[in-house]
Amino acid sequence: MPISSAEASSTVKAVSGSATAPTAEPTALVVPAVHHRQKTPAPPPLSIPIRRLLLERRPYSDRPPRYDYVLTTKGEGLLPALIALQDWGARHVMGDGALTATSEGGSAESRRVRELVNRKMPDVVLERHDGEPVTPNAAGVWTVLYFFPGAFAPGTQGYPPGWADIPGTKGCTLEALTYASRCADFEAAGATIRGVSTQRPDQLAAFVTHARLSYPLLSDQDSKLAAGLLLPTFRTAGVDRFKRLTLLVDPDAIIRAVQFPISDPAGSVDEMLALVRGR
């Protein structure tokens, strides 16, 4: 169905607005960029045809009537575009246009990430490195979720061209191995570890085998979690990748601590362990 310029404009306005925490059912994806809760039956600022195509209205209160707007399957197809728009804004509108896998501590991007504290994790399912579908955070326990740009096993598809020249990309292997060496300490403190990147599950499986990791790596290759939390990303060689950050999630799936930006990947592991022990 053709989309008019007016409809396209209203769509951009909708995805650039603010939103509340996700409250979707496990099979639904409520993305902050397009999630909209209404105190009246009025729809979000999308034309009716576009809204019906991209969003599904679900009532969550009868008195007064209130609704959640969740992405349809077709709407989820827009996730790469939403992530690209976010990256473009962070790089060219809020930044100086330079390609980077990190951020300045006082930047708008850093403030946005810090505002994730006390937010509930979105109800999405990712694919583990062994192909098993799992939720990002483990049920009923504290979870350390560290997001990294990319880690590749020797002899597999290597790093993208110019990877080492992008600020913030170095240190993924060191970070992964440091978490592995501290795994028993995290478990003793009551937390489990999971790494997340936008790499394919087979790439992550190769790295898990190579690095002999004792914890799982999860693939967000469809950008569901990235969009659900508006996580900072950068794009290189045609692939959206996470900027390095770490979340501490409590047993009720509430984010309780954030590390971003991370300038010392190995040192951030000990800092996170101290946060877990002191919670």
CA angle (217 as vertex; 216, 219 as ends), nearest 5? 140
pLDDT score recorded for residue 48: 61
Q: What are the tokens at 187?
A: 């478990």
Whether omega for the bond prior to residue 49 falls within 30 degrees of 0, making it cis, is no
pLDDT score recorded for residue 36: 41
Question: CB atoms < 10 A from the CB of 103, how many?
Answer: 26
pLDDT score recorded for residue 72: 78
Q: What are the tokens at 236?
A: 């290189």
- What parts of the chain have a pLDDT lower than 50? 1-41, 43
The residue extents of the domains of the chain are 5-76, 98-277
Q: What is the DSSP string of 19-61?
A: -------TT----TTT---BSSSPPPSS-HHHHHHHEEEEEEE
pTM for this structure? 0.74
pLDDT score recorded for residue 228: 87
pLDDT score recorded for residue 153: 93
- 98-277 architecture in CATH? 3-Layer(aba) Sandwich (3.40)
Contacts of 209 (CB under 8 A, 6+ apart): 153
